[in-house]
Structure 1
Amino acid sequence: MMRIKGDAIMHGEYIIIYIMLDMIFLARYLYIKTQFYKTEGIAYGNSNHYFSEFLIRDDKGYNYVGWVSMNIFSPLHTRGEVYTIYVSKINSKNAVMGNEPTIYLVLSIVFFVFVIFYMIVLALYWLM
């Protein structure tokens, strides 16, 4: 099926969407890396959907219970196991799982690759 060249202009909206998603995931990754510090926590309780509690030892040597909310990995936590988590520098009771920044970074890279690939496809389309 043959397309007219004006049709490719409409596909530029997808590039904008990919760039926006890439920026969102990269911003979340950078926020976690700059506003949280990496530590270990022992799974303490409530390993239900989207919520987990951890016994955390902070950088000053104090123990406290912190929580990870909105986490899809909560049902997989085993009580008493040690997990890598990132604890907020502002509110030390809030944390994110150690694998969450990695997920955001991977998604950011994937959407960046989509943008580059899609721009190459559009450029080749225009050259034909």
Structure 2
Amino acid sequence: MDHALPSATPAEALAAQAGGAVLVDLRKPVARIASGQTIRGAVTRDPFAFGHDDPLTASAAPVILFCVHGHEVSQYGCALLLLHGRQARYVTGGFAALVEAGAPLVPLAAEEHAR
């Protein structure tokens, strides 16, 4: 039995976002703030607070999560959403791969920098 979590390439993630999927920046705050950027249209969640009570667990839209490199953090978020019956995938290669694929970047909001 295959227990691999569903993943998306950066190109698939960006296409899915354009088609209505929710793209979630699940990078740890220190990594997100250090970069000073996120992907245009992505919603931000703190992975240390992301849990069963998050509104995304009840989202009808497909959800695609990314962290810095596409390993434990985004895979955790993906697994959590799958437990709630949501359609979820994580981005292979994470934020770094999305940037390399030409994802549109925007500066973090001022309140992000203040944390």
Q: What is the TM-score with the length of structure 1 in the denominator?
A: 0.24
- Higher-Rg member (1/2): 1
Q: Identify the structure with the greater helix proportion.
A: 1
Q: Which structure exhibits the higher relative contact order, with contacts defined as CA atoms closer than 8 Å and separated by 6 or more residues?
A: 2
